[in-house]
Amino acid sequence: MTKKALITGITGQDGSYLAEELLRRGYEVHGLVRRVALEAPERRTERIAHLLDKVNLHPASLESYPSIFHIVSRYDFDECYHLAAQSFVAESFADGFSTMNTNINGTHYMLAALRELRPQCRFYFAGSSEMFGKVREVPQRESTPFHPRSPYGISKVAGFDLTRNYREAYHMFCVSGILFNHEGPRRGFEFVTRKISNTVARIKLGLATELKLGNLEAQRDWGHAKDYVIAMYMMLQQSEPDDYVVATGESHSVREFCERAFAEVGLNYKEHVVVDERFRRPAEVDQLVGDSTKARTVLGWRPKYTFDELVREMVQSDLETLSRTKGHEVSKLSSSP
Ligand code: G4F
């Protein structure tokens, strides 16, 4: 029988790659989206524009239990991937209350609705390496204690604890993926990798001259989102529910990311990157690097993309998109009277 999956956050980077992966595997894919997304689909469902006739979108809000309950009551879901969240760490410092509300209550609502209506549905929670925060050991693995450093990180620890509690208390198949940073050409512009790749392309095309960044020394374990959604799927196919770290095991600084991205188009980052204190955070997570031995041995997961391939794909993709737009603008200008 065709399996039914529900993805919250289907319009985001991970949701769009996951929807593609599940459709490829023959799933009936449902997505929970905010009503505004359905009202302005050309902008808000951009990442899944090519899938719109293949997926079923349902309006609901993570802040409203009745709206979630209603969707869950209508379909007999086999799997639920809960990816929706306020996921920008800097924004969580600006408005910690909204981040906590959406991320903690939203997760609790999903779990409570599933427990009530679909206790057999397998549940994936998008945990984060931000939960390790001020890291207690290097590299970080499943047993590393959490020490979150932002309202976002705190909300993810709460979501992780809720997920484990539903597993232990109600014997539901609930798992958390502790995913380290995962990027790609569909990444939002507010995150550092996309900010860099996009600005590099703009500088190359003469549309900008400088790139303003905060902490250049922060180190992250950057993988490709396409590889990471496969790990999510694998976690829900196991015989027993468990939590897994998903990471490449390689760490690079923001500075190194800049160096590689500018080099990709033959430029020197030192001539364009400017440190702007406004982009520093009140509390920083200095170094993240994951040990994904458990995911590699138990799930058989491993990343395909290297760091260089990731940076290249992001820069080239932005260059192509912007060149097309720029070409379009130039031809519009030359054809105007
Ligand atoms: O790209 P970022 O904003 O990602 P961050 O904070 O590591 O969080 C991302 O990964 C987590 C997984 O570990 C997710 F849970 C989370 O939802 C999100 O996807 O920042 C990366 C680093 C930080 O140290 C930041 O301080 O880059 C540094 N940075 C330096 N200048 C900057 C900038 N970050 C941003 N966004 N913008 C800057 O101008």
Main-chain phi, psi angles of 226, to 5 degrees: -60, -40
Alpha-carbon span 326 to 337, nearest angstrom: 19
For residues 329 and 262, which has the higher predicted lDDT (pLDDT)? 262
Instruction: Provide the CA 309 distance to its chain's centre, in angstroms.
Output: 18
Tell me the average pLDDT across 295-301: 98
- Residue 89 Cα to ligand 1 midpoint, Å, equals 7
CATH, domain range 192-219+250-288+305-328: 3.90.25.10
* Residue owning the nearest CA to atom 35 of ligand 1: 192
Question: Does residue 331 carry a catalytic annotation?
Answer: no
Q: What is the pTM of this model?
A: 0.96
**pLDDT of 212 over the 50 cut:** yes
- Residue 127 Cα to ligand 1 midpoint, Å, equals 15
Give me the half-sphere count of Cα atoms (radius 13 Å) on the Cβ side of residue 170: 21
Binding site membership of 213 for ligand 1 (Cβ less than 6 Å): yes
Binding site membership of 129 for ligand 1 (Cβ less than 6 Å): yes
4-63 pLDDT, tens digit each: 999 999 999 999 999 999 999 999 999 999 988 888 877 789 999 999 999 999 999 999
190, 220, 273, best to mutate for ligand 1 pocket (most atoms within 8 Å of CB): 220
140-154 pLDDT, tens digit each: 999 999 999 999 999
93, 191, 246, best to mutate for ligand 1 pocket (most atoms within 8 Å of CB): 191
- Residue 106 Cα to ligand 1 midpoint, Å, equals 22
251-296 pLDDT, tens digit each: 999 999 999 999 999 999 999 999 999 999 999 999 999 999 999 9
In the structure, what pLDDT confidence band is assigned to residue 109 with cuts at 50, 70 and 90?
Answer: very high
54-64 pLDDT, tens digit each: 999 999 999 99
164-193 pLDDT, tens digit each: 999 999 999 999 999 999 999 999 999 999
Tell me the average pLDDT across 122-148: 98
Q: Which atom of ligand 1 is nearest to the CA of 126?
A: 15
Q: How many residues can be counted in the chain? A: 337
Of the candidates 17, 81, 152, 305, the residue annotated as catalytic is: 152
- Residue 130 Cα to ligand 1 midpoint, Å, equals 10
Binding site membership of 211 for ligand 1 (Cβ less than 6 Å): no
Percent residues over pLDDT 70 in the chain: 97
Of the candidates 61, 92, 128, 150, the residue annotated as catalytic is: 128
**pLDDT of 330 over the 60 cut:** no
* Residue owning the nearest CA to atom 27 of ligand 1: 192
191-206 pLDDT, tens digit each: 999 999 999 999 999 9
Other Cβ atoms less than 10 A from the Cβ of 318: the count is: 24
Instruction: Provide the CA 141 distance to its chain's centre, in angstroms.
Output: 19
Task: Give the per-residue pLDDT at 44.
Answer: 85
In the structure, what pLDDT confidence band is assigned to residue 335 with cuts at 50, 70 and 90?
Answer: very low
Q: Are 113 and 65 in contact (CB under 8 A)?
A: yes
Binding site membership of 195 for ligand 1 (Cβ less than 6 Å): yes
Residue ranges of domains in the chain: 4-184+224-246, 192-219+250-288+305-328
Give me the half-sphere count of Cα atoms (radius 13 Å) on the Cβ side of residue 235: 29
Question: Does residue 233 carry a catalytic annotation?
Answer: no
Task: Give the per-residue pLDDT at 305.
Answer: 98
Tell me the pLDDT of the chain averaged across its residues: 96
Binding site membership of 14 for ligand 1 (Cβ less than 6 Å): no
Q: Which CATH architecture has domain 4-184+224-246?
A: 3-Layer(aba) Sandwich (3.40)
Task: Give the per-residue pLDDT at 40.
Answer: 80
Q: Are 213 and 192 in contact (CB under 8 A)?
A: yes
Identity of the residue numbered 197:
S
Tell me the average pLDDT across 231-237: 99
Q: Which atom of ligand 1 is nearest to the CA of 285?
A: 24
* Residue owning the nearest CA to atom 6 of ligand 1: 89
Question: Does residue 130 carry a catalytic annotation?
Answer: yes
For residues 87 and 333, which has the higher predicted lDDT (pLDDT)? 87
Task: Give the per-residue pLDDT at 329.
Answer: 59
- Residue 200 Cα to ligand 1 midpoint, Å, equals 18
- Residue 169 Cα to ligand 1 midpoint, Å, equals 34
Q: Which of 62, 44, 323, 80 is nearest to 188 (CA)?
A: 44
In the structure, what pLDDT confidence band is assigned to residue 334 with cuts at 50, 70 and 90?
Answer: very low
